[in-house]
Amino acid sequence: MRKAIMVVLMVLLMAATTAAADEKKPKWVEDDYIIGPGDTLEVSVWKDPELTKAVTVLPDGKFSFPLIGEVRAGGKTVAELHKELKTGLNRFVPDVNLHVGVQQVNSMVIYVIGEVNSPGRLGMNANVNVLQALTMAGGLGEFADQDGIKIFRQIGAHTQIIDFDYKTVINGKNLEQNIILQRGDIIVVP
């Protein structure tokens, strides 16, 4: 009886640990990851080497694929692209067994400019907040205006400007300013 209880407790603990790990998984790693320019995708049709290849999404968001031609992938989820490719290939390959996956994420970039020790383009392979990005950029420079940092985010044709007060955040206040960054965000440190 005691052994059975221990087994049940172990199973429950493992389930809770798995659930917690799934909650921490970055949103863009899941099925709803939105494909962007520069990403490398793996497209494979089972038992058809001619239709199995790695493709890179071009700056216009498109790539070329045999039988279908030009395909727009940028801005779509992996699931949406899978559905579109399957529909296109079904005209030529009945009951196609298709796999679409992200082989390499290259479009998840942010930019940090101004008074940081290593300004430039930063690739993200996980969800990154403002403090983490500033750390990745080598930290603030000696003459940085710590309460004047701004994040520029492009939303369609509109640019949103988000204020970030470094001094306040590192002192544990206004932590809502330490937002998770999105593809293409620009952090400006005056």
Q: What is the pLDDT of residue 31?
A: 58
**pLDDT beyond 70 at 80:** yes
Q: Do 41 and 63 contact (CB within 8 A), yes or no?
A: yes
E-only strand ranges, the chain: 40-45, 48-56, 62-65, 69-72, 98-104, 109-114, 120-123, 149-155, 158-164, 186-189
How large a percentage of the chain has pLDDT more than 70?
84
Instruction: Tell me the average pLDDT across 89-94.
Output: 91
Distance separating alpha carbons of residues 99 and 80, to the nearest angstrom: 12
Global pTM reads 0.70
Please give the backbone phi and psi of residue 85, each rounded to the nearest 5 degrees, phi first. -65, -40
**pLDDT beyond 70 at 136:** yes
The DSSP secondary-structure symbol of 78 reads H
Instruction: Tell me the average pLDDT across 36-64.
Output: 95
Q: What is the pLDDT of residue 126?
A: 84
Please give the backbone phi and psi of residue 174, each rounded to the nearest 5 degrees, phi first. 50, 45
User: In this predicted model, what pLDDT tens digit does every residue of 56-73 receive, in sequence order?
Assistant: 999 999 999 999 999 999
> Maximum Cα–Cα distance for the chain, whole Å?
67
Same topology between domain 40-104 and domain 109-189: no
Distance separating alpha carbons of residues 150 and 148, to the nearest angstrom: 6
Q: What is the pLDDT of residue 5?
A: 45
Question: How confident is the prediction for the chain on average, in pLDDT?
Answer: 86
Confidence of residue 173 (pLDDT cuts 50, 70, 90): very high
Distance separating alpha carbons of residues 2 and 7, to the nearest angstrom: 9
**pLDDT beyond 60 at 6:** no
Q: How far is CA 154 from the centre of its chain?
A: 16
Topology of domain 109-189, CATH:
Outer membrane lipoprotein wza fold like (3.10.560)
Confidence of residue 75 (pLDDT cuts 50, 70, 90): very high
Q: What is the pLDDT of residue 125?
A: 80
- Which range (16-30, 32-46, 135-149, 158-172) has the least confidence? 16-30
User: In this predicted model, what pLDDT tens digit does every residue of 24-33 receive, in sequence order?
Assistant: 334 444 457 8
Topology of domain 40-104, CATH:
wza like fold (3.30.1950)
Q: Where are the domains of the chain?
A: 40-104, 109-189
